[in-house]
């Protein structure tokens, strides 16, 4: 796979090129053929295919990686201790991250100036399910359906259970372990292929976005980026070092 620095540089260049081209198209007013064949055609198809390819790899990558990770632990008691610590750490860091994100967002106000009225889409929040339902929903009644629906919690639970079963199956489980180990290598190759196409996908998505929205979207995006960067920096360089010292 090409080096991370090279890929990152190519993605940044593609993003900048997309901003320039999209803004020029917006300012000049794209002709009908450009809107039909370029924006809605080539760029729309390339951007959609790239996003779909990324989504395609999420479930296989998580499932296979978790199974192989669990089977790498020969002592399941170690998994139990690690799981309890990981759960406690996850809950603590999630609570802290939410607090930081809300605080930073309240200061920067990233949504200011963004015209949400330009779209007719509406959103209706659903009521939070009771705790009992959340617990019972952790175990999938149909693992295949959970994967098809992208239910990550159920996928994680099933992967952990399958990994533990493979580990406890001894010699017979070795064949399954080898299968998942090989699958992990294959899936990582597929991820590598998709990431090689990232500059083209980013260019298509950014160009179409700026050709549609124009430069007016820059300030809301910059505010969002600043909010995200500030929250991540506080979490990374403030919270995590304190937890590691503890």
Contact by Cβ (8 Å): 148, 55: no
Residue 119 placed within a domain: no
What is the pLDDT at residue 146? 92
Q: What is the pLDDT of residues 80-116, one digit of tens each?
A: 676 677 667 777 787 888 888 888 888 777 766 555 5
CA distance 176 to 102: 45
Residue 196 has pLDDT above 80, yes or no: yes
* Residue 123 domain-assigned (yes or no): no
The pTM for the full model equals 0.71
Q: What is the pLDDT of residue 102?
A: 83
Q: At 8, is the pLDDT very low, low, confident or very high (cuts 50, 70, 90)?
A: confident
Q: Is residue 182 part of a domain?
A: yes
In-domain check, residue 121: no
State the CATH number of the domain containing residue 93: 1.10.3860.10
Domain residues for the domain of 157 are 4-113+128-245
Strands (E), the chain: none
Does any domain span residue 171? yes
Q: Report if residue 118 sits inside a domain.
A: no
Task: Please indicate, yes or no, if residue 53 is contained in any of the structural domains.
Answer: yes
Task: Report how many domains make up the chain.
Answer: 1
Q: What is the reported pLDDT for 145?
A: 94
């Amino acid at each position: 796979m090409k080096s991370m620095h090279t890929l990152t540089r190519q993605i940044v260049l593609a993003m900048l090129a997309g901003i320039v081209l999209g803004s020029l198209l917006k300012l000049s007013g794209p002709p009908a053929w450009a809107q039909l064949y370029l924006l809605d055609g080539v760029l729309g198809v390339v951007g959609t295919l790239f996003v779909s390819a990324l989504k395609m790899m999420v479930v296989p990558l998580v499932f296979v990686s978790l199974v192989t990770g669990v089977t790498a632990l020969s002592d399941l008691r170690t998994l139990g201790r690690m799981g309890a610590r990981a759960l406690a750490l996850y809950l603590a860091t999630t609570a802290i991250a939410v607090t930081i994100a809300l605080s930073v967002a309240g200061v920067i106000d990233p949504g200011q100036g963004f015209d949400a009225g330009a779209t007719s889409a509406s959103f209706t929040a659903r009521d939070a399910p009771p705790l009992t339902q959340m617990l019972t929903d952790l175990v999938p009644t149909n693992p295949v359906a959970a994967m098809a629906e992208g239910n990550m919690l159920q996928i994680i639970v099933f992967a952990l259970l399958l990994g533990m079963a493979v580990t406890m199956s001894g010699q017979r489980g070795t064949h399954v372990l080898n299968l998942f180990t090989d699958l992990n290598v294959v899936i990582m190759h597929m991820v590598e292929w998709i990431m090689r196409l990232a500059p083209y996908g980013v260019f298509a998505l950014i160009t179409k976005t700026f050709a549609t929205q124009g430069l007016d979207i820059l300030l809301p995006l910059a505010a969002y980026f600043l909010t995200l960067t500030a929250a991540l920096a506080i979490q990374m360089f403030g919270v995590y070092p304190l937890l590691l010292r503890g």
